[in-house]
Amino acid sequence: MAKQRNDYENSWFPRLQRWIAQGGTRLSDQMTEELSEASDAHRVLSAEDVARREVEQAVHQLEIQEHEAALYERAHQWGRTKGAKLIRAFYAVLAVLMCVSVIAVLLTTVSNLPSFGGENNPINNEVSQRYIEKGLQETGAVNIVAGMILDYRAFDTLGESHVLFIAACAVMILLRLSDSGDPRQLSRERMEAEANDRLYEPKNDIILQRVAGILVPIIMLFGVYVLFNGHLGPGGGFSGGAVIGAGLILYLNAYGFAATERFFTIKTFRAVSFIALAFYALAKSYSFFCGANHLNSGIGLGTPGDIFSSGLILYLNIAVGMVVACTMYAFYTLFRKGDM
């Protein structure tokens, strides 16, 4: 039976155990004083002992706060003075260097690309051939591009009109003065937005009103023309919608919110964008569903050249035009007044 050495206590192994027992592992500084606090938790702490410890801890917290505030002050001061210039200069040089290298690499890439307009470019392959030749028969649209956007590759355009819709919602989240906050705080905000509006904007500027009186009808007419002839001539949903949106903004600038609120409020914005997008999604999912399952979708292509030809393209153009016009107008009004 091995006899225990008399100096066993101070040989290395028990000393190691004692060292571990004292919580030798290195935890982050907050944890250490909590651990030590836990070890004496078994002794019943008297009330004022606990209070003293709490006060001590609060003071300790305050010190940390001040220390950090001082640190920021010093960093801020250093940031303002010489250090800032050094860092910014170094950062500027680095940024310019990186950009120049990116441009150089991209330029060498461009130099190896197929030459502009060459006939044997990989682009003029059977894909674009079919768009050009058979575009008219298959989509009924004289303007191949509109036929392409709304029939061949309709899924991308569906996605893009939803990009616009989601951007309008995001700007609404950020800028709209919500009518459900506490009334006092809200009215101050609305007042501030209104005041800011009138300060810089001469309300009824005769010149602007006269010019707008003449221009707005022409712009709207041009926008509607572009929208309706999307499948015949250059134009289509996005262009027509953008022109109509610009016309609305000019009308708002000239005659102020009172005039536009007669026909365009937040409710009309929501209703129009919902109806347009819902119609768009339904029409396209119907044609996708029929296309995929090889069913005949039963939408006549009509005689190419007149307005009501090329199946759904005219109505889809109108839907996309409505979404684009409302979104452009909504962007402007949300920025200006926070509400329609």
Partner 1 sequence: MGNLFNNYEEACAIILFGIGFTTLLLHRNMIKKIIGFSMMDSAIYLFLAAKGYIAGRKAPIVVSVSVTALMLALTVRLYRRYHTLDIDEITMQARREEA
Partner 2 sequence: MQLWQNLPFAMILLPLASASLTSILKGKAARRAALTVITLVTLMAAALVIFMQGYGQSYTFMMGHFPAPWGNEIRAGMLEAVTALCFALVMLFSVMGGLRDIEHDILPDRQNLYFVMCELTTAALMAQVFTNDVFTGYVFLEIMTIAACALISARTKGRTLVAATRYMIMNLVGSGLFLLGLTLLYDLTGHLLMSNIQEKIIALSATGKYQQPLTMVIALVTIGLGIKSALFPFHTWVPDAYSSSTPTSSAILSSLISKGYIFLLIKFYYRVFGLREVVNAQVEDVLLVFGAAGAVIGSVLAIRQLDIRRMIAYSSVAQIGYIYMAIGLGTQSGMTAALFQLMAHAICKSLLFIATGGLCAASGEKRGFTSLRGAAYRNPVAGAAFVVGAFSMIGIPFLSGFVVKLAYAEAAVLWGGPRMITVLAVLAISTMLNAIYFGRTVVTLFRLSEEKIAQQQKWHSGPCFAVACAALSLLTFALGLAADPVLAAIRSGLEMFS
Partner 3 sequence: MELLNIMLLVFILVCAVSVSLTKDLLTSLIIFMSQSLAMAVIWILLESPDLAITEAAVGAGVTSLLMFVTLKKIHAIKEDPKDGETKE
Q: Which residues make up the interface to partner 1 (CB under 8 A)?
A: 65, 68-69, 72, 76, 79, 92, 95-96, 98-100, 102-103, 106-108, 110-111, 113, 115-117, 121, 123, 127-128, 131-132, 144-145, 148-149, 153, 156-157, 160, 163-164, 166-168, 170-171, 174-175, 236, 238-239, 324, 327, 331, 334-335
**Dist CA 287 CA 297 (whole Å):** 6
The region of 101-109, 274-282, 286-294, 330-338 touching partner 3 under the rule CB under 8 A is 330-338
Structure-token pair, residue 52: 């003293």
By the rule CB under 8 A, 146 interacts with partner 3: yes
Is 180:310 a contact under the CB 8 Å cutoff? no
Can residue 145 be called a binding residue for partner 3 (CB under 8 A)? yes
CB 340, CB 264: distance < 8 Å? yes
Question: Can you tell me the distance from the alpha carbon of 340 to that of 172, in angstroms, rounded to the nearest whole number?
Answer: 10
**Binder of residue 285, out of partner 2, partner 1, partner 3, none (CB less than 5 to 8 A by kind):** partner 2
The span of 79-87, 113-121, 257-265, 329-337 binding partner 2 (CB under 8 A) equals 113-121
Cβ-Cβ contacts under 8 Å for 309 (sequence gap 6 or more): 140, 141, 231, 301, 302, 303
Query: Which pair of structure tokens corresponds to residue 217?
Result: 């009808």
The reply to whether 234 sits near partner 3 by the rule CB under 8 A is yes
Residue in the block written with tokens 């000019």: 250
Can you tell me the distance from the alpha carbon of 26 to that of 35, in angstroms, rounded to the nearest whole number?
Answer: 11
Whole-angstrom distance, CA of residue 48 vs CA of residue 55? 10
Stretch that binds partner 3, among 30-38, 61-69, 123-131, 327-335 (CB under 8 A): 327-335
Using rule CB under 8 A, residue 226 touches partner 3: yes
Judged by beta carbon distances under 5 to 8 A according to partner kind, the member of partner 3, partner 1, partner 2, none in contact with residue 151 is partner 2
Whichever of 54 and 192 has its CB closer to partner 3, that residue is: 192
